[in-house]
Amino acid sequence: MSRIKLHDNYFKPFITAHRIAETVAAMAQQIKKDLSDDEVPVFVGIMNGSFVFTADFIRVYEGNCEVSFVKLASYEEDRSTGTVKRLFGLDENLEGKTVIILEDIIDTGTTLEEIYEIFRDKKLKQLKIATLFFKPDVFRKGLPIDYIGISIPDKFIVGYGLDYNGLGRNLTNVYQLTTKKMTNIVLFGPPGAGKGTQAEILKKKYNLIHISTGDVFRFNIKNETELGMLAKSYMDNGDLVPDKVTIDMLEAEVDKNPDANGFIFDGFPRTEDQAKALDTFLAKKEEGINGMVALEVPEDLLVERLLERGKTSGRPDDQDEEKIRNRFNEYNTKTAVLQQYYEAQSKYYGVNGVGSIDTVTGRLSEVIDKL
């Protein structure tokens, strides 16, 4: 799930389609269990928002049932009675039947109360209310809510039948309104692909903070911060710096920039555990990774570039082809794991890294613009 934009507002991931499906199935099972074996309930969906919920609900309801949709409308009957409320869409006789109202979301309960009172006059056997989403913080009515799928805070949400000015009903996941517009990118590229050059360009173009793991390590060690000295102690002993130390450094770097438009993470994460830790940290800030963008360049071409660079860079690891290819093996191994991790979230984007700097920047920009 990634951040989306509807009209002029941004919405961040809130509830997954998988969790919704599990909740709907559980509600259907509970209602079936509570009814007698020969009961044929009438499920009534309240338009327009509940049409997705109602359709999914009756598909998993294991029993005979009837279904209908209604809409509450106001009209002027005559001068003496003034404005009255009427349910449109329900014409059959419900006397003696069990009616279960299916609501997509209940907040204050004002509209639902009006609908409930209309149904109470129809001499039903029983009347129950089931809602997929419920906002207990703002509910102000004394109505009995018999079945609640998911209780949520008083936040504006879209998706799964709920809309924002007409848009968003077709989204399978549910999203929450956010005032932030952060773009967080994991930038990957093999040695020699020009990742450092592109990171510098992109951070200026999109006004993002570029966080390079190498730079963060060097800063902390040079300035003898507590984390820097801890990392150095491991390095001096020839040991790998634990993920926890690296993550703490990056979290501190993010916390330094609370008003940032977003971040380019360069050189991190390198393992699935690190990726999960980054997701957990950003989730606490109600943020997330928009995408992993990886520059893709043929290995033989990169070897040529690095050997050529080695003639002037003075770096010994740029002058030995065997060492260069070992670096690629390490990169490919790590990238393959992370690619699978982000692909599972539909967040992996491979970008052709062959061409001029401007050409590659253009390709990267096309991806980032979509994010």
Which member of 12, 97, 128, 195 is catalytic? 195
Residues 6+ away with beta carbon under 8 Å from 342: 186, 275, 289, 291, 292, 348
Which member of 71, 285, 325, 327 is catalytic? 327
Look up 135 and say whether it is catalytic.
Answer: no
Question: Tokens 């700097």 correspond to what residue?
Answer: 357
Residues 6+ away with beta carbon under 8 Å from 118: 85, 86, 87
Which member of 86, 120, 315, 370 is catalytic? 315
Structure tokens at 272: 């699935």
Which amino acid, one-letter code, is at 118?
I
Structure tokens at 75: 């009209």
Look up 309 and say whether it is catalytic.
Answer: yes
Which member of 309, 323, 325, 334 is catalytic? 309
d(CA 276, CA 154): 28
Residues 6+ away with beta carbon under 8 Å from 246: 213, 217, 231, 268, 274
Which member of 203, 270, 347, 363 is catalytic? 270
Q: 36-41, long-range: CB within 8 Å, 24+ apart, which pairs? A: 39/63, 39/98, 40/64, 40/65, 40/66, 40/97, 40/98, 41/65, 41/66, 41/97, 41/98, 41/99, 41/100
Look up 327 and say whether it is catalytic.
Answer: yes
- The H or E element spanning position 358 is helix 357-370
> Which residues are the active-site residues?
195, 270, 309, 315, 327
